[in-house]
């Protein structure tokens, strides 16, 4: 699957728009680039982004900046299980693709056969051949 760009549209009040335009001018980039940077940062940090003016960021203590974004310790067993499940999912995807190729191969074989199919109903109507009875 390719990466396709999508458009996001929303409204802001006039003051916010002017502020955003000033930010774009300060950084010498387009207004849309400001939003792209914000969205990229938001995605990179799983939605845990806090917008803080530069002058407030410089005044923050070390303990405040370390707490954001939050960090979580994950047990190694969880990581190993996740990796195992990823490998299993890859294996199942490979098996599914192999199965699809085999089904397509069988369909092609069926289409390529030029053998006539005889329906049993058609055989019942023919009187030229002698009939036999088991009993």
pTM assigned to the model: 0.34
Alpha-carbon gap, residue 88 to 65, rounded angstroms = 39
Which pLDDT belongs to residue 103?
94
Where in the chain are the domains? 14-58, 73-112
pLDDT band per the 50, 70, 90 thresholds, residue 32: confident
Alpha-carbon gap, residue 31 to 48, rounded angstroms = 22
- Contact between residue 50 and residue 68 where contact means Cβ atoms under 8 Å apart: yes
Tokens matching residue 23:
């930010």
Alpha-carbon gap, residue 31 to 25, rounded angstroms = 8
Alpha-carbon gap, residue 41 to 50, rounded angstroms = 10
Which pLDDT belongs to residue 75?
87
């Amino acid at each position: 699957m390719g990466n396709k760009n999508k458009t996001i549209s929303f409204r802001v009040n006039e003051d916010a728009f002017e502020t955003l335009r000033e930010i774009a001018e300060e950084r010498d980039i387009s207004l849309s680039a400001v939003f792209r940077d914000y969205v990229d940062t938001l995605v990179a940090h799983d939605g845990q982004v806090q917008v803080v003016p530069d002058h407030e960021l410089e005044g923050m203590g070390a303990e405040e900046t370390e707490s954001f974004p939050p960090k979580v310790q994950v047990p190694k067993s969880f990581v190993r299980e996740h990796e195992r499940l990823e490998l299993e999912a890859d294996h199942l995807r490979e098996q599914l693709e192999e199965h699809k190729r085999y089904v397509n191969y069988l369909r092609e074989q069926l289409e390529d056969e030029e053998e006539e199919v005889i329906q049993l109903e058609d055989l019942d109507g023919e009187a030229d051949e002698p009939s036999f009875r088991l009993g």
